[in-house]
Amino acid sequence: MNLIPAGTLTTLKGSEQGFSSWYDHLYVNQQATTEATGKGGVYDFVVRLGYSDTQQARSEISDHLPVWAEFRIDVMDDD
């Protein structure tokens, strides 16, 4: 199961403004873990840090947005 919603753009365009591709994923085996809640996404540092230019954000931070997922800590650990 991919915890990043289908079609979520995770990269910044190389030569123009905006977001590009869905490259970054977080996969879990649902039969092997009980901690994953199924919630996940990207941290849009372009918006959160107030960039008005995605090319500046790309040059100063990264061309990939960080991906995140939520895991429960109130269940038995399966490792």
Summarize pLDDT for 34-55 with one digit per residue, the tens: 899 999 999 999 999 999 999 9
Q: N- to C-terminal Cα distance for the chain?
A: 18
In a domain, 78, yes or no: no
In a domain, 35, yes or no: yes
Model pLDDT, residue 46 = 97
pLDDT band at residue 31 under the 50/70/90 scheme: confident
Flag the least confident range among 29-33, 54-58, 69-73, 75-79: 75-79
Q: What is the total count of domains within the chain?
A: 1
Phi, psi of 41 (to 5 degrees): 175, -155
The two structure tokens encoding residue 55: 């090319």
Type of residue found at 3: L
Classify residue 2 by its DSSP letter.
Answer: B
Average pLDDT in the chain: 92
Domain extent, residue 22, equals 1-73
Model pLDDT, residue 33 = 84
